[in-house]
Chains A and B, each alone.
Chain A
Amino acid sequence: MYGWLWRRLPGNTGVKLLVATVLVAIAVAVLWFAVFPLLEPAVTLDEVTLFG
């Protein structure tokens, strides 16, 4: 998967590295700001109130 992606990136190794870093950064940002906030309510590791 990653090998296949790497071969498809343009340019020499330096450019490939740069593009790969940007792609990873985009993936992380999408997860952090869009996906994780949606998942977070499902995780109840921090329930603080009491219920009868």
Chain B
Amino acid sequence: MLRAVGESSITAGLIILLFCAYLLWGTGGYTEDQQLLLQRQLTEERPAETPRLGRIQLGTAVAMLRIPRLGRDYRYAVIEGVSTEDLKKGPGHYPGSAQPGQIGNFVISGHRTTYAAPFKRIGELRRGDEIIADARDARYTYRVTKQEIVRPDEVEVIAPVPGKPDARPSRAVITLTTCHPEYSAAQRLIVHGVLKRLELRKD
């Protein structure tokens, strides 16, 4: 009897460990597959006509995000939408927030521990670091201005003028959001940046 209890407990423990391994590494495979599809959308397809109201369809790729500080190979296709399903595929752009390069706040959320953890290391970003958004029409280069840690309900950080929900935007800024501390949903880590450079695509 005691032996059976012991064996069951050890088995349960091993299964829980395996589940943790799945969360950290098993979920990334799905993201990588989906990223291939989204990145292909960005490089191959050009929308036949400008989407109505300049809005991008939910679930499609918005831009390629590159952060040189996090490595030369750091690139993720940003998907339009921040639903659970969207975020499994890559960093998500808040629908309704500014488009890349537009006046206002270009807000992107990404996972920090699961699903390939695209924003795992955004805490390492320092003032002045580049955040590059390669959109279909142009390359927009933002520079990090500040970092903050907020409660999950402090939505003013993603307002068109971060921190001032009622203000009218006059600058193009970018905001990255992820969970904080790592492995927790208690707070959010926020990185702000401001548009510094715009290079139109030649093709």
Assembled-state Cα–Cα distance A41/B15 (Å): 17
**Least Cβ–Cβ distance between A25 and chain B, in angstroms:** 12
Q: A28-B18, A43-B23 are in contact. Are A50 and B111 (CB under 8 A)?
A: no
How many B residues touch the partner, as a band?
35 or more
Q: A32-B26, A40-B22, A45-B114 are in contact. Are A50 and B188 (CB under 8 A)?
A: yes
- Contact present for B152 and A45 (CB under 8 Å): no
Q: How many pairs of residues, A versus B, come closer than 8 Å at their CB atoms?
A: 75
Q: A2-B7, A36-B26 are in contact. Are A47 and B179 (CB under 8 A)?
A: yes
Instruction: Tell me the residues in window 9-41 of chain B with beta carbons closer than 8 Å to chain A beta carbons.
Output: 15, 18-19, 22-23, 26-27
A52, CB-defined interface residue at 8 Å: yes
Within 8 Å CB of B183, what residues of A?
A: 45-46
- Contact present for B22 and A32 (CB under 8 Å): yes
As a 0/1 sequence over residues 141 to 152 of chain B, the CB contacts with chain A under 8 angstroms (1 = contact) are: 000000000101
Assembled-state Cα–Cα distance A38/B97 (Å): 32
CB < 8 Å neighbour of B185 from A28, A36, A44: A44
> Which residue of B has the minimal Cβ distance to A43?
B23
Assembled-state Cα–Cα distance A21/B115 (Å): 29
- Contact present for A50 and B7 (CB under 8 Å): no
A20, CB-defined interface residue at 8 Å: no
**Least Cβ–Cβ distance between A1 and chain B, in angstroms:** 5
Instruction: Tell me the residues in window 120-166 of chain B with beta carbons closer than 8 Å to chain A beta carbons.
Output: 150, 152-155, 157-158
- Contact present for A47 and B152 (CB under 8 Å): yes
As a 0/1 sequence over residues 16 to 52 of chain A, the CB contacts with chain B under 8 angstroms (1 = contact) are: 0000000000001001100010011101111111111
Q: A1-B7, A41-B84 are in contact. Are A50 and B158 (CB under 8 A)?
A: yes
**Least Cβ–Cβ distance between A6 and chain B, in angstroms:** 12
- Contact present for A36 and B177 (CB under 8 Å): no
Within 8 Å CB of B87, what residues of A?
A: 48-49
CB < 8 Å neighbour of A50 from B22, B119, B155, B184: B155
Within 8 Å CB of A28, what residues of B?
A: 18
B82, CB-defined interface residue at 8 Å: yes
Give residues in A with beta carbon < 8 Å to B. 1-3, 28, 31-32, 36, 39-41, 43-52
Q: List 20 A-B contacts (CB under 8 A).
A: A31-B18, A32-B18, A32-B22, A36-B23, A44-B185, A45-B183, A45-B185, A46-B113, A46-B114, A46-B115, A47-B152, A48-B82, A48-B111, A48-B178, A49-B177, A50-B153, A50-B155, A50-B157, A50-B177, A51-B152
